[in-house]
Structure 1
Amino acid sequence: MLRVLKDCAGNVFPLAAVGLIVLAGMVGGGVDISRAYMAQNRLQNACDAGVLAGRKAVGSDGYDSDAEDQAEAFFATNFDAGEQGVTELTFETDSEDDGNTVEGTASANMSTAVMQLFGFESMPISVECSASMSIGNSDVMMVLDTTGSMDWDVSSYDRTSRIDALRDAMKSFYDTLSAAASGGNGRIRYGFVPYSSSVNVGQLLLDRDPSFLADNWTYQSREPQYRTVTHQVVSGYEAPYETTDTGYSDVDSSGWYYNSSDNYRKLSQCEDDLPPSTSWSNYGGTSTSTTTYIDSQQRRVTRTTTEQRQRSKDYTCYKNSGRYYIIYRNQERTFYDHEYSIEDPIFTTTTTSVFDHFAYKAVNYDTSTYKTFASTLTPTGDSGSNESSTWEGCIEERATVAENSFSFSKLLGITPAGANDLDIDSAPTGDADTKWGPMWDQISYYRTTSSGRYLTSASVSDYGRKAGAACPVAARLYAEMTESEFDAYADSLDPEGATYLDLGMIWGARLASPDGIFSSNVNDAPSNGGSVARHIIFMTDGQMDTSYTTHSTYGIEYHDRRVTDDGTSNQDGRHTSRFLAVCEAAKAKGIRIWVIAFTSALTSDLETCASPDSSFTASNAASLNEAFQSIGKVVGELRVTQ
């Protein structure tokens, strides 16, 4: 027995048994830790998805119960507790800054597969997550419908005016991006193109280069017509000759008075005692006066008048209560003695031009002063008088072609050729067709027949009417803005005019193009050195609705016929084709176009214009705000930050 105890050869087996137990614990722990690691990664992904969804759902009410429900739904979709083998799963979210940043925590207990043999039945896992808006560099060009219908109520149920709803949505959009940019080094700039039947870009063009604006432009206007009138004008007088005449003034009589209390039974008795009336006699001194005047025969007359007052007394019989009485009255008059010095006129024949009527026609005007915003006189006032007008800043487009259809391709650009108005990049040259003109609506008239009720296509008419016009608030190039600056601009928007969607897009694209005449502004590099995302937000409350008598950016279409062949036919359709071509040209620049149809249908044309997944319909003020917020979340680059 002692020999066996001293023999060590068999000790390897107990040691091996102990080693196997340790090895099993190590392998089992690794398996469970690996399972826990994978479950934790899955939990982190679900947590991230949840807070992202919750942040995207944040609206004007901040991080409310609806947004919280959205976060929980996305978390549940991305993490299956049974599949991951966990229990006691929790997911909680919160926001301490009214929804700008949504924070979340998720935790669970994972049942062990091997380690439970060693007394470890579960392993706790937990993660934290956060999603917020954090801005990079973005340029946002707002192309805004400010037509007359924007002054209407949103609907019969919502008495908010459409323009007020737009202002509020713009301000909320600014707040969203401002919060996203807070604390970061990203740059966000805003540009604006309000549009109706015209666009106000005159100051931008003048500042860029005064030669971009023409010094002469032809307008449908009116021109005074004059007739020659012959006059005999007095140029001097002959030597004077003298003449005289005399006369009396009208007689002034006093009332009748009783001569005495004596009375008579018979008229004959009274007449027998009647005193004789006195003759006229002078009393008082004379007075002399001299005056010079031009008589009806254009003679110059100098009259010297001497006046002498005269008086007399008149008697008669008067019957009163059956008795006759002698009564009298006093009379006065003035004796005039006139001496005349008369000079006959010497006539000279002259001719003058006097206003006769207006000729309503196309008139070429010098615009070199008007385009500088200086007051300018034109003979278009009443009876050809000079009237003063000052440019508001809206322009007429440069040369184009009246074609039915337009298109854009990266290879060919805009086709057909010759549509300089749709070229969003090229600068004017010495060619007049490449320049813009100031819209001079104060002198614009369309031609009518004599009744004034019907238009006439005649090149000249004696009859016409003032053309209507609308000039929106001035457009703005990209610039960083304070909240007060942004809000002030939004509040300045003024609804007026018809709906020319193409004008808004042409100039929105022109101001946003990195290759155009404002490229130095567009390509101004941010201080952080990062790239810039470019966006156009195009908002309208209606479809294309043009006018052929309004003075628009294309003149008065009925007479100018820059878009149509006959002044009226398919005008809306042709403008729509231009609109779609420019939309494609803008998107080819890498600009994302967002389209919002407010209180109107999202037409196929608007959907075609928009970039993919970038169009909205807003039926009321709340949905308009939601549309702007949805765009803001993309511009603001919603992301997981932890």
Structure 2
Amino acid sequence: MVCVTYTVISVETMRLNAITSAGFLKRLKRDTRGNVLAIVAASALPLTAFVGAGVDMSRAYLVRTRLQQACDAGVLAGRRAMGAGGSLTPAVSNQISQYVSFNFPQLEYDTTAFAIQPTLTSATDTINLTLTTTMNTAVMKLFGSPTVAVSVACSARDDYANIDIVLVLDTTGSMGCKPQRNAKDCSDNWAGKKGGNTMVVGGKTITYVQEETNNSVNISRMQGLRDALTALRTQMGKIETQFNLATPDSRKRIRWAIVPFSQMTNPGLSIGTAGTTLYSRNPGWFNTSGTYRSGGSNSLVSHSAYWISNTWDGCVEERTTSNLITPTSNYQIPDNLPSNAHDLKFDTVPGGPDTRWTMADPDATGSAQYACPKAMRELNTITATDFDDYFKFSNGFVANGGTYLDIGMLWAARLLSRTGLWSADNPEYYHAFPVKRYVILMTDGEMDIGETGYGAYAQENYWKRTTNDGKSTTAEANHTKRWLMTCAALKNNQAEIYAISFGAGSTLSADMQACSSGAGYGYRAADSAALLQAFQDIGENIGSLRLSQ
């Protein structure tokens, strides 16, 4: 017999149980205690992977950066060792390996060993290198990524082209002072008292400011400049040595032009002789003897005509110009100039009275201050010995005169012009290689125009060739405008300009920076050591090896 037991639950009991269950679910829904623990547990692995990826990616970035630096150092060293027209010899490859291994030793930063196998692109003499390694991960290996691949590539080529350098050098009276003197100290206590000395060089009488010494040691700015120029020539000589490794018919060259300037330049002894007349004209005259009275009638003044003669020293007065060029004018060289501003049209070949220079004739100006610097040198190759000889005091490289920055740059522009007076000797290519052109301007002061001094534009206060009032302040502002216009025109013609301000009182002014080719092209040298370093840096920058990738 089967016994069946029945449990009878009343409807009321079922209702109460349902109410109790619903209350529990509602309380559970509202209760947030313990939720964070569940979330953290669920996200622990993704967070670990995320942080681990960041750590390992940072390590990989460091490895790539260091490997790239090693690659760059290797190909640069190899390209330097290969020289001009060389080949990728085992010695060159070994040099590359040494530089790479020094900068990134094998197995460094938990990486695997990598091969160093440079190649050569013969058409451009470019050394190429690719370095590939893998880095073991520290965290991501727990998530199935045990390594990260790192690869870098680099190339180096000899970016030397033919090089033309024009040195535009301030040889004004203050260059006789030591660099530590400021402008006032130099003028009052040295240049103003030590000028007027004369000596004869090559049959020409030269007037100069004595160069400052200390216990018989020359400490002048001129001597500091000489030493710096020798350092530059030595630096460029290293490049010349590489050039000379090539066969003569494919050899590149370095040419130098030198433009010493004060209130004049001396092109005459460069393009002619002191016995050659460029152009002669009737002199102007001014009565400066004082006041006088004139009656109402006209009368003729008789005088005796006679010839005067002197030996030309090579300096010239500038071509016809305009006094409309002011700091606020918008003129530009060469196409937007006053029609009679023939001096600034540096591409113009002399062809008539307005476009010719005239011989400087200081005897016709009475006692006006006059300074004719050493004869400029046209673009040509030069040996280290001849280079140093040019700048010797005994050979006439001396300090004297005022500062016309514009006249120095103007002759640099003429020497580099491919359509001007020297166009036949200014090719765009030489032996199938381009010609790069550089101007290095060195000055120890700002524009300094004397009203009564005799310069490239005659006597400013009498002739008023560049001003309408003849005042020195007006002339300095107008000549500064001309200088900056010439700098801009040179840069537009693909010449690179380095500007150096030398001496304790000098600054790398906004105008000097504007004249230069921009950041990295302007230098301030407070003393001779800084000047020497500036010229060395410039020598290293001109035509140096380049990373091409």
Please, what TM-score do these two structures have when normalized by structure 2? 0.60
For residues 395 and 625 of structure 1, do their structure 2 counterparts lie closer, same or farther at Cα, with a shift above 3 Å needed? same
Q: Distance in 1 between matches of 2:447 and 2:74?
A: 42
Query: Per the alignment, do residues 596 and 573 of structure 1 end up closer, same or farther by CA in structure 2, a change over 3 Å counting?
Result: same
Q: Which residue of the partner structure matches residue 253 of structure 1?
A: none
The residue correspondences of 1:239-318 to structure 2 (distance < 5 A) are none
What residue is the counterpart of 1:169 in the other structure? 228
Deviation at 1:395, TM superposition (A): 0.3
CA contact (8 A) 2:171 2:399 kept: yes
Q: 1:559 aligns with which of 462, 484, 487?
A: 462
Deviation per CA, 1:132-156: give whole Å up to 9, x if none.
Answer: 9874211000100000011100116
The answer (yes or no) to whether the contact 2:346–2:413 under 8 Å persists in 1 is yes
> How many Å apart are 1:566 and its aligned residue?
2.2
Q: Cα deviation per residue 1:539-581 (whole Å; 9 max; x = unaligned)?
A: 1110001111111011011211111212215111111111111
Question: Which amino acid in structure 1 is aligned with residue 544 of structure 2?
Answer: E
What does 1:376-391 correspond to in 2, within 5 Å?
378=308, 389-391=310-312
Indicate the RMSD between aligned Cα atoms, in angstroms: 4.6
Distance in 1 between the 2:270 and 2:239 partners? 30
Determine which of 536, 539, 543 is the counterpart of 1:629: 536
> Which amino acid in the other structure matches residue 154 of structure 1?
P
Alpha-carbon deviations, 1:60-111, whole Å to 9, x = none? xxxxxxxxxxx99x968xx9954xx42899xxxxxxxxxxxxxxx9999966
Q: Quick one: distance in 2 between partners of 1:364 and 1:561?
A: 27
Task: Give me the whole-angstrom Cα distance separating, in 2, the residues matched to 1:597 and 1:364.
Answer: 49
1:589 equivalent in alignment to 2:467: no
Relative distance call for 1:547 and 1:47 in structure 2 (3 A) is same
Match 1:472 to one of 350, 368, 373? 373
Shift of the 490–129 alpha-carbon distance from structure 1 to 2, 3 Å rule, reads farther
Task: For 1:640 and 1:587, locate their aligned partners in 2 and report how far apart those are by CA, in whole Å.
Answer: 24
1:408–1:133: structure 2 CA closer, same or farther, 3 Å change rule?
farther
Which secondary structure state, in structure 2, belongs to the residue aligned with residue 507 of structure 1?
helix
Distance in structure 2 (CA, Å) of the matches to 1:54 and 1:150 = 40
1:143 aligns with 2:49: no
Specify which of 262, 281, 290 is matched with residue 216 of structure 1: 281
Q: Which of 513, 520, 527 is 1:620 aligned to?
A: 527
**SS in structure 2 opposite 1:216?**
coil
The 1:107/1:167 distance shift into structure 2, 3 A limit, reads same
Corresponding residue for 2:427?
Answer: 523
CA distance in 1, matches of 2:438, 2:342: 24
Deviation at 1:515, TM superposition (A): 1.9
Are 2:111 and 1:86 equivalent residues in the alignment? yes
Q: Deviations over 1:566-616 (max 9, x none)?
A: 221511111111111111111111111111111211111111111122111
User: Contact 2:402/2:448 (CA < 8 Å) preserved in 1?
Assistant: yes
CA contact (8 A) 1:163 1:495 kept: yes
SS of equivalent residue, structure 1 residue 534: strand
Partner of residue 610, structure 1:
516
Work out which of the residue numbers 68, 74, 81 in structure 2 matches 1:45.
Answer: 68
Q: Does 1:394 align with 2:315?
A: yes
TM superposition shift of 1:408 = 4.7
Q: Deviations over 1:365-414 (max 9, x none)?
A: 9xxxxxxxxxxx61xxxxxxxxx52011000001111122454547x624
Q: What's the counterpart of residue 429 of structure 1? A: 351
- Tell whether 2:266 aligns with 1:200: yes
Structure 2 letter corresponding to 1:183:
Q
The percentage of counterpart residues that share the same residue type is: 31
CA gap 1:167/1:641 in 2 versus in 1, 3 angstroms = farther
- The answer for unaligned runs of 5 or more in structure 2 is 1-60, 79-98, 115-128, 138-145, 183-212, 244-250, 289-301
The answer on whether the counterparts of 1:145 and 1:541 sit within 8 Å (CA) in structure 2 is yes
Cα distance in 2 for residues equivalent to 1:150 and 1:53:
40
* 1:604 aligned partner, one-letter code: A
Instruction: Report if the CA contact (8 A) 1:514-1:589 is conserved.
Output: no
Secondary structure at 1:473 match in 2: coil
Mark the structure with the bigger radius of gyration.
1
Quick one: structure 1 residues 41 and 438, their matched pair in 2 at CA, closer, same or farther if it must change by over 3 Å?
same
Q: Which has the higher strand share?
A: 1
Q: How many residues align?
A: 385
State the match for 1:505 in structure 2.
409
Shift of 1:486: 0.8
Give the superposition deviation at 1:45: 3.1
- What's the offset of the Cα at 1:417? 3.2
Question: Which secondary structure state, in structure 2, belongs to the residue aligned with residue 425 of structure 1?
Answer: coil
The alpha-carbon deviation at position 506 of structure 1 amounts to 0.8
The C-alpha deviation readout for 1:510-534, integer Å capped at 9, x for no partner, is: 11111211111222853x3211001
Structure 1, unaligned runs of 5 or more: 1-37, 56-70, 90-104, 114-120, 224-357, 366-376, 379-387, 446-465
CA separation in 1, counterparts of 2:282 and 2:75? 57
- AA paired with 2:345? D
1:532 aligned residue (432, 435, 448): 435
CA contact (8 A) 2:168 2:258 kept: yes
Paired residues for 1:30-69 under 5 Å: 45-50=68-73
SS of aligned partner of 2:418: coil
Once the two structures are superposed, residues 282-321 of structure 1 have per-residue CA deviations (whole angstroms, 9 ceiling, x without a partner) of: xxxxxxxxxxxxxxxxxxxxxxxxxxxxxxxxxxxxxxxx
1:316-347 residue CA offsets vs partner (Å, 9 max, x unmatched): xxxxxxxxxxxxxxxxxxxxxxxxxxxxxxxx
Distance 1:392 1:598 in 2: 28
The Cα shift of 1:443 comes to 3.0
Paired residues of 2:286 and 2:462 also in contact (CA < 8 A):
no
In the alignment, does 2:323 pair up with 1:416? Answer: no
* Separation (CA, whole Å) in 1 of partners of 2:156 and 2:346: 39
Q: Given the superposition, is the C-alpha separation of residues 45 and 628 from structure 1 closer, same or farther in structure 2, using an over 3 Å criterion?
A: same
Counterpart amino acid of residue 578 in structure 1: R
2:402 is paired with a residue whose SS is coil
Deviation at 1:193, TM superposition (A): 0.7
On the 8 A contact 2:72/2:154 being kept in 1, the answer is: no
